[in-house]
């Protein structure tokens, strides 16, 4: 490690020590913001990160970021994790930091960047995305939600499905059909519209895991201003493809700072026990657990190598599809093994005989099943890999 990197890491460590509220140490970043007793400290921490530009550290400073590279961002995440701390802003912004913001950086006008990116980077606004529809999932280009030109704005009618966090969001980025006579991939645009209007109706969808992050969102004469058209009219297919690349990049398995889980090998020893040599009593599980730990380490090292090769530049490419599938395999295997290790204690839904971690485990396992679909299914990623990386001919539906 160079002296410059060592100094940066030391500075990050000291800043976290001086600024992270001790009351939040070890808290789950997904839920701590809703705890009334910790609300003030949580917002104070958000403000401090926002002022530092670390809510979205790789974004330019003029748009609320810190102008850092991927190496520095990884260092920040490492030191947050080492301190049992976390960055709440990506979670607060929902789709803002990971997907909408980077796409605005790619396609937005200067006015759009100033207007939208700074509040996202500061964790002051929540975003959802209107992509899939009941009749347009993996074949997204079959979408039917319409946006009709009405002077200085568009009138939007239709519905979207799986709009995560729509019932909490202030803004939505949506793909809509603006030219019904064009080939289906040519007549699509990407619009941004406020959720707080009469023509937008998000309805939560209850999941088997008990959570309701997903919604079906109905647009009934909703208004999207022409100044909030992202990218050129009728060229939204290119915009949404780029947005989905950013989504896959966010799902490639970078370690989430905060809420560190118990190492798998320690969990297995605690639940299953060890023999006289200190080895797990279950030899078959020991082999499968070892393979999983190797796969996880290989994935982590691949991420580190890519970051090093990028030399600090933030780049997103079709290679994210490879890493997205790899990350999904690692995370789902971990969830499967965790359930197996816990045995009956990993199947609890409620009751005093299960601790909080055990009750969380089966819900996490159920929710994690969606990771091989969210952001594009395994099969969609394989199509992208075959066409854009391996150079194989197009075999999917044209249009």
What's the CATH number where 185 sits?
2.40.110.10
- Per the model's pLDDT, the better-predicted residue between 362 and 128 turns out to be 128
Q: Would the pLDDT of 260 be above 70?
A: no
- pLDDT at residue 139, rounded to an integer: 81
Backbone φ and ψ for 224, nearest 5 degrees, come out as -125, 120
In total, how many domains does the chain have? 3
- CATH assignment at residue 78: 1.10.540.10
Looking at residue 316, its pLDDT comes to 61
Range of the domain at 192: 127-234
Per-residue model confidence as pLDDT tens digits over 29-62: 766 666 677 889 999 999 999 999 999 999 999 9
Q: Give the chain's mean pLDDT.
A: 87
73 and 162 in a single domain? The answer is: no
- The answer to whether residue 240 sits within a structural domain is no
Give the pLDDT score at 310: 58
What is the token pair recorded at 297? 């380490």
Mean pLDDT over residues 241-265, rounded? 68
> Are 106 and 72 in contact, with CB atoms under 8 Å apart?
no
Mean pLDDT of the 215-238 span: 96
Query: Cα separation of 30 and 44, whole Å?
Result: 17
Does residue 378 sit within a domain? yes
Q: What is the pLDDT of residue 29?
A: 72
Q: Are 268 and 382 part of one and the same domain?
A: yes
Task: Identify whether residues 272 and 212 lie together within a single domain.
Answer: no
81 with 152, same domain?
Answer: no
Q: Is position 397 within any domain?
A: no
Q: Shortest CA distance to 137 belongs to which of 381, 380, 383?
A: 380
pLDDT at 391: 84
CATH number at residue 381: 1.20.140.10
Does the pLDDT value for residue 16 go beyond 90? yes
The residue-averaged pLDDT of 80-92 equals 92
Q: Which of 73, 247, 350, 394 is catalytic?
A: 247
Q: Each residue of 279-322: pLDDT tens digit?
A: 888 889 999 999 999 998 888 887 777 666 655 555 566 677 77
The pTM score is: 0.78
Per-residue pLDDT tens over the stretch 174-199: 999 999 999 888 999 999 999 999 99
Residues 171 and 226 in one domain: yes
Per-residue pLDDT, 258 = 39
In this structure, the answer to whether residues 359 and 280 fall within a common structural domain is yes
pLDDT of residue 269 exceeding 70, the answer is yes
* pLDDT attached to residue 324: 79
What percentage of the chain has pLDDT greater than the value 90?
53
- Shared domain check, 287 and 384: yes
Distance CA 16, CA 81 (A): 11
Domain termination site, one of 234, 253, 284: 234
Q: Which residue has the higher pLDDT, 245 or 73?
A: 73
The whole-number pLDDT of residue 311 equals: 59
- Check whether residue 83 and residue 143 sit in a common domain: no
Query: Residue 226 falls within a domain, yes or no?
Result: yes
Q: Is residue 247 part of a domain?
A: no
* Statement to judge: residues 279 and 378 lie in one domain: yes
Q: Under a CB-based contact definition with an 8 Å cutoff, are residues 143 and 133 in contact?
A: yes
User: Rounded to whole angstroms, how far apart are CA atoms 268 and 281?
Assistant: 10
Q: What is the pLDDT of residue 313?
A: 55
- For residue 254, pLDDT over 50 is answered with no
**Same domain for 295 and 378?**
yes
In a shared domain, residues 154 and 223: yes
Answer yes or no: is 113 within a domain.
Answer: no
How do residues 320-329 score in pLDDT, each as one tens digit? 777 778 888 8
The stretch 346-373 carries a mean pLDDT of 84
pLDDT for residue 336: 92
Give catalytic status of residue 262 as yes or no.
Answer: no
- Measured CA to CA, the distance from residue 360 to residue 217 in angstroms comes to 28
For the ranges 87-91, 109-113, 244-248, the lowest mean pLDDT is seen at 244-248
Q: Does 99 map to a domain? A: no
Q: Which of 234, 250, 285 is the last residue of a domain?
A: 234
The mean pLDDT value for 158-173 works out to 95
Confidence of residue 231 (pLDDT cuts 50, 70, 90): very high
Q: Which pLDDT band holds residue 256 (cuts at 50, 70, 90)?
A: very low
- Within a domain: 239: no
- Judge if 212 and 293 occupy the same domain: no
């Amino acid at each position: 490690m160079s002296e410059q990197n060592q100094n940066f890491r030391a500075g990050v460590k000291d800043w976290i020590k001086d600024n992270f509220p001790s009351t939040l140490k070890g808290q789950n970043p997904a839920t701590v913001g809703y705890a009334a007793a910790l609300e003030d400290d949580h917002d104070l921490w958000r403000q401090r990160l926002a002022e530092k530009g670390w809510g979205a550290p790789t974004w330019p400073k003029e748009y609320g970021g810190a102008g850092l590279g991927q190496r520095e961002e990884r260092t920040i995440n490492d030191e947050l994790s080492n301190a049992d701390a976390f960055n709440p802003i990506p979670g607060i912004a929902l789709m803002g930091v990971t997907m909408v913001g980077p796409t605005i950086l790619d396609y937005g006008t200067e006015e759009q960047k100033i207007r939208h990116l700074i509040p996202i980077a500061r964790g002051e606004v929540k975003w959802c995305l209107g992509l899939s529809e009941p009749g347009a999932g993996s074949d997204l280009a079959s979408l039917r939600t319409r946006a009709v030109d009405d002077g200085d704005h568009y009138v939007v009618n239709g519905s979207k499905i799986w709009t995560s966090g729509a019932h909490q969001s202030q803004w939505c980025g949506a793909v809509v059909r603006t030219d019904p006579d064009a080939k289906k991939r040519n007549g699509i645009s990407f619009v941004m519209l406020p959720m707080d209007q009469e023509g937008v109706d998000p309805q939560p969808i209850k999941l088997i895991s008990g959570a309701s992050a997903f919604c079906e969102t109905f647009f009934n004469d909703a208004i999207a201003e022409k100044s909030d058209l992202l990218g050129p009219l009728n060229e939204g297919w290119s915009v949404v493809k780029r947005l989905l690349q950013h989504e896959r990049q966010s799902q490639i398995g970078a370690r989430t700072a905060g809420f560190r889980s118990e190492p798998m090998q320690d969990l297995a020893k605690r639940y299953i026990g060890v023999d006289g040599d200190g080895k797990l009593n279950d030899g078959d599980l020991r082999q499968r657990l070892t393979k999983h730990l190797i796969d996880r380490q290989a994935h982590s090292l691949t991420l580190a190598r890519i970051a090093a090769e990028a030399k600090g530049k933030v780049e997103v490419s079709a290679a994210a599809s490879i890493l997205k599938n790899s990350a999904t395999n690692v995370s789902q295997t971990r969830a499967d093994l965790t359930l197996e290790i816990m045995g009956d204690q990993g199947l609890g839904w409620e009751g005093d005989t299960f601790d909080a971690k055990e009750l969380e485990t089966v819900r996490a396992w159920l929710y994690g099943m969606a990771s091989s679909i969210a952001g594009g299914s395994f099969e969609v990623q394989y199509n992208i890999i075959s066409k854009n990386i391996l150079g194989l001919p197009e075999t999917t539906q044209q249009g």
